[in-house]
Amino acid sequence: MKNLQMYIGGEWKDSLSGQRIDVKNPSNGEVIATIPRGTKEDVDEAVQAAQKAFRSEAWRKVKPHERGDLLQAIADKLEANRDELAKLESLDVGKPLKQGYADVDAAIRYFRFYGGAADKLMGDTIPIEDGLLDFVVREPIGVTAHIVPWNYPIQIISRSVAAAIATGNTVVVKSAEDTPMTAMKLTEYFDELGLPKGVFNHVTGYGYEAGAALSSHPGVNHVTFTGSVQTGIAVAQAAAANVVPVTLELGGKSPNIVFADCDIEQTLEGVVRAIIQNAGQTCSAGSRLLVEASFKEGFLAKLKERFAQLTIGPGLEDKDIGPILNEKQFRRVMEFIELAKEEAEIVAGGKQVTIEGSEGGFYIEPTIIDNVNPESRLAQEEIFGPVMTVFTFETTDEALELANSTEYGLVAGVWTKNIDKAHYLASRIDAGQVFVNNYGAGGGIQMPFGGYKKSGFGREKGFIALYNYTQVKNVAVKYGI
């Protein structure tokens, strides 16, 4: 077991309170580390360090291409430690080892992508009149706060921190108290770079303490948050009091729309993968299955066969499905399964699983729930487990109505060989990403990611995310002889 520390102003520190939080392995419930219980005072110290670094000549003089080189150096460190990081992510989050590797590979690609983009964010000139040179530049916004969820720590830290540093900002990361381990490793790599003190800071603690203090701090200039709608609203309200912009990614209830003319094998693989990844604890999980009525019976039978073949176990054993994060999350998922017994039909799974030697973990069979009322909690609320609800449609417009029938709008999948139906739906589905005959596109590093409606606003990933961390300045110069 390790007693880990925070990283503030270029120094490793315990919290000012001296209190600590246990970090548990979700696969068996064992304590694997402790972290400082950071509070308002620790957050204030980190923000002040970031402010000082942002104003320093040492950071200001680092050229854009040199910032890119720093990010590429982080990617090199991630790549050199790929095996260790994948195992650590699997151990900490509980996800299968192969998914841990996929997350590390995505993190490497984020640092490579934004490292390459650091010197390519251009301004504009605007024609006004003779004798007036008018131009627009994008400047770093200042101190950026990054409040990271527990389900994809290394990916989500990498995608926002890399973009923020590429554009010349200084950062304060608040990792999830449940899964801080790879965030700690990434912090070590930043420490080894020899950056000006305060450019990168990492605080730990509970969301309602350290996270709330960070989102409401008047010294923060931008907040990036991924998590629940309820917490996202609180973060936005706190930032609004300081007139600070936010990027919010708040989850989803994403539909996979399956037509009778789909490629069956390709569709089955995509639908299964979309709900079992990280035991369904994924904001973009394909948790609603919409199937054309004439095709439903046969497709559902094949889907049940696939579910029956899936293996369950500790993350490091690299089964298909790992544990639910903790007892609180487990109880929530089981409450929905109990609700399904009352008002719908469980056609596969639906039971807790006990794993020999890992009795302290919380495991659930992958579950299919049919005959769901589109207005029920099962259809409308994010379950955040390996649980899929099934709906039936007769026409394309009926499928569209079902797809748009929740308050979320993060991702959608459309499975059909008919290009007309695919484009028709893609243009009308209320979602930030629509995948046709695939789901996820290999991590989508270059693709803007974010939601409609209560799935949030702003976009991460891709070149467009760089704009989150810049502010626009217009300069008009009068000249003449």
Point out the residues that are catalytic: 249
Please state, in angstroms and rounded to a whole number, the distance separating the CA atoms of residues 410 and 406: 11
CA 402 to chain centre: 25
What tokens does 380 get? 């409308």
What tokens does 181 get? 């381990």
Q: Give the full edge-to-edge strand order of the sheet including 20-24.
A: 2-3, 31-36, 20-24
Query: b/e per residue, 323-339, with b = 16+ CB within 10 A?
Result: bbbbeebbeebbebbeb
Query: b/e per residue, 393-413, with b = 16+ CB within 10 A?
Result: beebeebbebbbbbebbbbbb
Please state, in angstroms and rounded to a whole number, the distance separating the CA atoms of residues 40 and 86: 32
**Half-sphere exposure of residue 183, counting CA atoms within 13 Å on the CB side?**
36
**Half-sphere exposure of residue 328, counting CA atoms within 13 Å on the CB side?**
1
